[in-house]
């Protein structure tokens, strides 16, 4: 069921909590927005402006009268869920918003953000602890104007059903997702030939199976031992069940030793650190993201920014489903698994993903240059 609900654990990007990478734009965005490649810069500019407007308008919206916001790049609008319509003229009269009114859409809504936060907190703090559901995603989604509880059709057992029934008092939206065997998942046997340069999104295989490279991290011990820096690959903690697991990168059936897991967490925050001090000398790790299926096979990381607006795009690169993009549906989400592990502070998107993509980098397309031969 994770093909629709790609999880971004905010601690996975260790040095940029609630941030994601900015890189140069490429074709997946054109597919996401249903546009030609040459239209990408215009739509990126629209998204940038809407995100800024979303930040401007939010402080004026009280939680009791409004139910959250989201942006729609195709419609060039910031949508505002409005419970108390009498507040609309007040918001429109604000001098700070006078020049932006054509880009604001006040949409009648039933649930205030105040109520949604209350319902979400009650479900998480009381019902999850009591019923211990497994493999369930819970978050507030402004576009649905509701708390959304999502689970796979193959996860609808007695325990989960009791939990679902207990939540109905709060009126959440229940969403059943296709099973892991759904035909909508991409095939895993169309993998491209990968060079022996290791980038974010490339495959790494340990005792629990396939995972993905996240990004390169460096630890400095500070003076006087500043030269004793240590390099790590950051990936997902659930890629292992214990420390000292060895990871290899595979190219055409040949194994290249990457490193050993020296630290990991699977509860609250899901991350793992692979020590690459003894990495195969034939491997060269790069501060880049693998751009599967494109002429430009590597995307260089240039900066980081906060992910702040519902409806903005995020993309991921993973060893199983390659590079895909989707829209941010919710922040601060929660996931419960079958071992009573609870992950918090998650961003949910509708980007396609599957087992094997775990640990891969999540990023944001920012700018581009165009030539007759390729995008950069």
pLDDT digits (tens, 9 = 90+) for 266-311: 888 889 999 999 999 889 887 888 887 665 667 777 666 667 799 9
Query: Residue 173 pairs with which residues in a beta bridge?
Result: 148
Helix, strand, coil tally for the chain in percent (to 5) = 25, 40, 40
- What pLDDT shows up at residue 77? 98
Whether pLDDT at 123 is above 70: yes
Mean pLDDT rounded to a whole number for the chain: 82
Whether pLDDT at 28 is above 90: no
Q: For residue 359, give the 3-state DSSP assignment.
A: coil
Mean pLDDT of 333-343: 85
Q: Give the list of residues 6+ apart from residue 165 with CB closer than 8 angstroms, or none.
A: none
Whether pLDDT at 186 is above 70: no
Q: 197-236 b/e with 16+ CB inside 10 Å = b?
A: ebbbbbbbbbeeebbbbbbbbeeeeeeeeeeeeeebbbbb
- What pLDDT shows up at residue 67? 98
Whether pLDDT at 374 is above 50: no
Least confident of 236-240, 288-292, 325-329: 288-292
Mean pLDDT of 239-248: 92
Query: Residue 9 pairs with which residues in a beta bridge?
Result: 346
Interstrand relation of 284-290 and 146-152 (parallel, antiparallel or unpaired): unpaired
The model's confidence at residue 181, banded by pLDDT at 50, 70 and 90, is very low
- Is the separation of the CB atoms in 343 and 7 below 8 Å? yes
Residue at token pair 């974010």? 200
Residue at token pair 């008092």? 169
Whether residue 224 has a cis bond before it, omega within 30° of 0:
yes
Mean pLDDT of 243-247: 93
- Is the separation of the CB atoms in 124 and 334 below 8 Å? yes
Tokens of 258: 């990457």
Least confident of 31-45, 50-64, 222-236, 293-307: 293-307
Least confident of 43-47, 121-125, 220-224, 368-372: 368-372
| Higher-pLDDT residue of 365, 137 | 137
Whether pLDDT at 1 is above 80: no
Using a pLDDT cut of 90, give the percent of the chain over it: 52
Tokens of 73: 């790049």
- What pLDDT shows up at residue 9? 43
| Higher-pLDDT residue of 356, 145 | 145
Whether pLDDT at 376 is above 80: no
Q: Give the list of residues 6+ apart from residue 118 with CB closer than 8 angstroms, or none.
A: none
Whether pLDDT at 7 is above 50: no
Mean pLDDT of 144-163: 88
DSSP state of 186: P
- What pLDDT shows up at residue 182? 35
């Amino acid at each position: 069921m994770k093909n629709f609900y790609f999880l971004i654990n905010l601690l996975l990007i260790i040095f940029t909590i609630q941030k994601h990478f900015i890189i140069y734009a490429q074709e997946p965005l054109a597919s996401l927005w249903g546009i030609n490649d040459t239209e990408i810069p215009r739509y990126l500019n629209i998204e940038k402006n809407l995100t800024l407007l979303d930040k401007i308008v939010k402080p004026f919206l009280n939680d009791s009268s409004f139910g959250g916001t989201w942006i729609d790049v195709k419609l060039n609008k910031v949508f505002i869920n409005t419970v108390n319509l009498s507040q609309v003229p007040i918001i429109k009269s604000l001098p700070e918003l006078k020049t932006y009114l054509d880009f604001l859409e006040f949409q009648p809504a039933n649930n205030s953000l105040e109520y949604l936060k209350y319902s979400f907190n009650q479900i998480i703090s009381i019902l999850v602890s009591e019923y211990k559901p497994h493999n369930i995603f819970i978050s507030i989604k402004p576009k649905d104007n509701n708390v959304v509880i999502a689970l796979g059709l193959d996860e609808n057992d007695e325990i989960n059903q009791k939990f679902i029934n207990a939540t109905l008092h709060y009126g959440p939206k229940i969403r059943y997702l296709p099973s892991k065997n759904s035909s909508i998942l991409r095939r895993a046997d169309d993998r491209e030939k990968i060079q022996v340069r290791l980038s974010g999104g490339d495959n790494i295989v340990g005792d629990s199976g396939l995972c993905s490279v996240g990004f390169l991290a460096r630890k400095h011990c500070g003076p006087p031992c500043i030269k004793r820096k240590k390099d790590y690959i950051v990936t997902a903690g659930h890629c292992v069940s214990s420390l000292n697991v060895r990871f290899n990168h595979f190219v055409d059936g040949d194994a290249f030793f990457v490193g050993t897991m020296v630290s990991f967490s699977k509860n609250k925050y899901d991350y793992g650190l692979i020590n690459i001090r003894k990495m195969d000398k034939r491997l060269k790790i790069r501060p880049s993201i693998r751009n599967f299926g494109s002429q430009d096979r590597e995307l260089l990381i240039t900066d980081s920014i906060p992910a702040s607006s519902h409806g903005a795009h995020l993309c991921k690169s993973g060893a199983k489903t390659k590079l895909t993009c989707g829209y941010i549906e919710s922040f601060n989400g929660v996931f419960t698994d079958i071992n009573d592990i609870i992950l918090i502070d998650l961003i949910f998107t509708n980007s396609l993903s599957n087992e094997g993509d775990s640990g891969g980098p999540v990023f944001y397309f920012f700018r581009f240059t165009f030539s007759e031969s390729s995008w950069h």
